[in-house]
A = this chain, B = another copy of it.
Amino acid sequence: MTKPQAVTAAVVIIGNEILSGRTRDTNLPYLATELGKLGIRLAEARVIPDLEAEIVGAVNECRRRHDYVFTTGGIGPTHDDITSPSVAKAFGVALKRDARAVALLEGHYGPGQLNAARLRMTEIPAGASLIDNPVSLAPGFRLENVFVLAGVPEIMRAMFDGLKHQLLGGPPVISATVAAYLAEGTIAKGLGELQSRHAELDIGSYPFFRGGRFGASFVLRGTDPLLIEAAAVELRALIRDLGAEPLDREPA
């Protein structure tokens, strides 16, 4: 049995604040989980600074390699927000004041408040469709397979929620977890054999350290729940054979 051709995505996180350690990104795990539910495998993520050449390079590499690309960050009104012109440059298209975006912001801000800085948020690459922002109105946009989203998590999530009907995934990837207080080195041989017998699944081993004891979580991922459960039954037997107790989840 061979794995079906996966639908893949990349996430490009744009922001000096993540690279400086100031801000802990939460958009990546969110997108990873939500894409997985849609049957889209997050195959790569990059964190890059607010520099035009870096954005152009990452967007162009990722859009060639993957079915979908999601960028986060850099679409606000301040001088360090350069994602939109950089994505326009990546595609070789003009950046244009978008009348739809202007109308949205005119309705949102009071009279006289739509200043030059805010108007920057209405400059959208030619040919892009807008992505709704129900939180603060300034839209994201989609250009071919690239979705340009806000960095503020509340806004990014609302944008993603509104656009996800546009995405075509494969069969949803599901997983089962079996954990044990068992050294990885003890189970490695049997686990490798289990992986060989179940080539249609991805079996991962993730060590943990809780209360002074080492253990590991074993995650079985695939698209067929029956195949996953069959492998989980074998895995639980393997753990018992090695003298440990299979657990349904990683201990807290």
Contacts and interface: CB of A to CB of B under 8 A. Distances in A.
A252 B188 CA distance: 44
Given A79-B188, A185-B77, A219-B22, A46 B49 contact: no
Contacts of A129: none
B152 A204 contact: no
Interface stretch (A84-92, A162-170, A205-213, A230-238): A205-213
Nearest to A114: B185
B16 A78 contact: no
Contacts of A5: none
B22 A175 contact: yes
Which secondary structure characterizes the binding site on chain A? mixed
B115 A80 contact: no
A159 interface: no
Interface in A223-244: none
A42 B21 contact: yes
A98 B21 CA distance: 35
B48 A19 contact: no
B78 A184 contact: yes
Interface string A187-207: 111011001000000111111
